[in-house]
Chain A
Amino acid sequence: MKLRAAVARVRALYSRRKLDRELDDEILAHLELAERDAIAAGLKPEEARQSARRSFGGIEEMKEDHRDRRSLRWMENLLRDFRYGMGSLAREPGFAAVTVGLLALGIGANSAMFSIVDAVLLKPLPFPEPERMVRVWETPPGLRNGTTTLTFLDWKRQRDIFEALSVENSTRAAVATSGDPERVSGKLVSADYFQVFGVKPQIGRTFARGEDQPGAPPVVVLSHAFWRTQFAGDPRVLNRDLVLDGEPHRIVGVLPAGSFDRDEAVFWKPLIFAPDQMNRGQHWLTPVGRLRAGVSLEQARAKMTVLRASLDGVILLKDWGFTVDPFAQILVGDTLRRSIYLAFGAVVMVLLIACANVANLALAKGANRRKEMALRAALGASRGRLIGQLVTESLVLCLLGGTAGAALGAILLHVAAPLVAASLPFTADLSMDLRVLGFAAAAVMAALILAGLLPSLRTSFGKLSSALNQAARGSSGSSAAVRRTIVIGEVAASVVLICGAALLFKSLAKLRQVDAGVRIDHVMTMSVDLPSAAYPSPDSAARFYESVVQRLQAVPGVEQASVSQGLPLQGVQWGEGMVLPGMRENLLVRLKLVDPWYFGALQIPIEAGRGIENRDRAGAPPVVVISQELARQFSKTFGIGNPIGRTVGIWVPGYGPIPESLVKLQIVGVIRSERTAGLNAPPELVACVPLAQAPRQDIKLVVRTSSGPETAMPAIREAVGQVDSTLPLGDVLTMEQVKERSILWARQPTWVVGAFAGVAVLLAALGLYGVLAHAVTEQRREIGIRMALGARSGDVLSHIFRSAFAMLIMGLAGGLAGAFALTRVLKSLLFQVSALDPVAFAVGCILMTLVGLLAAWIPASRATRVDPMTVLRDEG
């Protein structure tokens, strides 16, 4: 019965009009009947009507009672306020549109950014018990390094520490499922790799024990995305083979959709150690493991330290230890973490500025409506109702702004996801989920309190009489002061952002100016992997290098072609010790493997001696060409003036599974240093060894072209295809693109902060404009009188601009103070720019001032057009 009454009451809310009409009809019928009876009783028509009325009682009172009884009164009020709020917003569509736009901007940018923060920093890894997942390292003093095969196997035997421990080496392979061969990424792992992640296959199985042992038949597990695109999600794929580099692998399982689809790898296959790899010299493995349940990180570290001590007899590098790190920590690097916090800080500031603007607008509107409110209060509206009405108006705005903001956030995220995906770990699931929407809702609530409640309290608690007495003249002093303060705060926050952005942009420009040491224009690069089956020996690889270069040189438009391992700016894979016979010290050098044309193709000048030449092939005396930087260090360390002609020992990597070996090399030349590790890193000590004397399967082709490098690509592809038609080309990039990618870490936060700084400045300018425009409107009378008394428009202009300037100067002062305090968080992202760089700060201040004055110009010029006569007649 209670429920039924409640339902009826709620329904009455919707059918209010109908019920009112029905009641009116009933009243009418009632009065008619009463009148008729009264006439029948002998009254005159006029008396009968009065008698009927009298017997009925107060009609309006009864109607109110009727409404009270039948329905939820407060709900009805709320709905009425809502409708009234909508109506009053519709009367001022400009105010509503600007407010909703501001809120949408703030909330949208915030929820998009929070999605990224959430995906990368807040959400736990999408694997069961992620806190048990670890990376295991050898630790040279102060560093983290990979480990050797035998040491890895020692670790794997520690069943009391690790439930599972797996290697994880990236690999690539040519796959031809349909049409042209394609180069795809994969991973070489131990059989218990998926146990580490706690991932079960969607179909089939993952690797069984022993499948990573010698002699096991070749098997492969596919990513869900690869299965869908290449096999159309066909479950019968399990009985088929995937041909990797010409070698068939039985497909045993497919992973579920999710995290692994964001990883570069599309296939996983067991890594089977070759006998040659069973050593403690080659640090080539970076194991990932799952701790046994109940084993803490500290316990694991302690046990690994004990293990290290027990292995002291066999470990070659005596000062290296063992350690265990949480897996999540490795995924999110410090630079990424800082960039994300930075961008989030910027976006929060923008939200605050947007809210301040909304509050300011609402305050201005509230000031205009004081009379209306006072009138309604005088007519008997309770303060509760007045506040309720204002709050519902704000609520309407916030609802609209929040909805638009959520939509905008989704769009922003959609646009941004592909741009930032490369910088994020594969575990990051970028999506607007419930938490993100919850955050957006919280942002809306904050905006509501800021923008709605405070101004409405001011408005509705203002003294009624003073509001009523106050004619249109003059502004309400305290409200104007509050609004000025808000604008000053906005300007200050914008200045902080814009100074930060200026610092980052200056740093980026400096970074771009760094001479890479190579000529990067008109250069095309691509990577090739020579499969072991087709290129089993170093000789076969060397023959490929020679013929591919020959073919490429013959292509019209190609000036120079070369083969090397690695490219400038991408880091050098091999770091090895260089020893001079008879000397105790050694130098840690970066080892580049290049062919005779590499220096020419990238125009790296030879400073002394000779470069690498065609005669430096397998069987010829081994040689090495060193960088200027290395030559300098060489002289310093070994006390030898001219390194040319000296013979040094370097560990040189072997071909395929062949381990590295110590080779005696004669230094034959010195080249100018190139930037190997990125534009921000100082030149490294680089030793270049002829590729023909140390062939590799993972190589890069570097082609210098006479016209646009992209236009030569079809011919380049054709030429490579003529040498080996089964080889797919990967990572096809111009050298310019390689350079841009190498500074992605600096570019992304710069543009993000820059974009938000731009928005912040615009918002602050809008706020300034709003306050000044309002002031001009309120002071029209004053301005009119002044002009009537002989003030020229110049005086009026300077009056407005002085007011704008006062706000700007205070904002700039506050902003600079904030910038001094806050820009140091940028320090790690800045390259050759101080966090307190005066030029950047000056640029920030000037930009803000210019935009601010531009915003002041519109109301100022309006003020000069005030016609004294009109104003005085209007309000006199």
Chain B
Amino acid sequence: MLAVNMSEGKTEVPYGTLDLLILKTLDTMGSMHGYRIARRIEQVAENLLRLNQGSIYPALIRLEQQGWIRTQWGISETKRKVKFYSLTRAGLKQLSIEVANWERTTALVARFLGAES
């Protein structure tokens, strides 16, 4: 249910990978609020990928309910009370699982593509 912008040759967020992107972002950058997470993902993707920034919030609540990230109240740059998200120990473990899964999947797909060409 990611909102996708198909224009300008930008890729949609591959299904199920937003969780991975968020977890990895938090792993690398530490605690940060929703807007920063969205911006960071966009920056790393270097305009290859465009996501509706809002779509990270449903993903965040789910990750929080799973116990993979935790929230703390903090103050934003605009002096507003916002939630800061950070990785939990379980989240770290989940990240390694998802990374491994992802690598297996891409390796598998790469092998198929390699065999055909």
Contact = CB atoms under 8 A, between A and B. Distances in A.
Interaction A to B: yes
B87 to A, nearest CB: 15
Q: How many A residues are at the interface, by size bracket?
A: 20 to 34
A178 interface: no
A1 B90 CA distance: 10
Contacts of A8: 64-65
B67 A1 contact: yes
A29 B58 contact: no
B52 interface: yes
A70 interface: yes
B54 A58 contact: yes
B65 A66 contact: no
Nearest to A7: B65
Contacts of B38: 30
A34 B83 contact: no
A59 interface: yes
Interface stretch (A20-28, A356-364, A423-431, A671-679): A20-28
A68 B53 contact: no
Contact of A69 (B36, B58, B81): B58
B108 to A, nearest CB: 26
A4 B34 contact: no
Contact of A29 (B1, B66, B80, B90): B80
A514 interface: no
Interface in A1-37: 1, 4-5, 8-9, 12, 19, 22-23, 25-30, 32-34, 36-37
A9 B62 CA distance: 9
A30 B34 contact: yes
B76 A29 contact: yes
Contacts of B82: 25-26, 29
Nearest to B71: A22
A231 interface: no
B39, B54, B67, B77: residue with the most chain A Cβ atoms closer than 10 Å? B54
B83 A26 contact: yes
A34 B62 CA distance: 23
Contacts of B109: none
Interface string B40-71: 00000000000011110111011011110000
B78 interface: yes
A757 to B, nearest CB: 60
Interface in A34-77: 34, 36-37, 55-59, 61-62, 65-66, 68-70
A623 to B, nearest CB: 101
A57 B83 CA distance: 20
Contacts of B59: 69
Interface string B80-113: 1111000000100000000000000000000000
22 contacts: A1-B67, A1-B90, A4-B65, A5-B67, A9-B65, A22-B83, A25-B81, A25-B82, A26-B83, A27-B57, A28-B80, A29-B33, A30-B53, A30-B54, A33-B35, A34-B35, A36-B78, A57-B53, A62-B52, A62-B58, A65-B58, A69-B61
Sort A-B residue pairs by CB-CB distance and give the 8 closest, nearest first. A57-B52, A8-B65, A62-B54, A33-B35, A65-B58, A29-B82, A57-B54, A69-B58
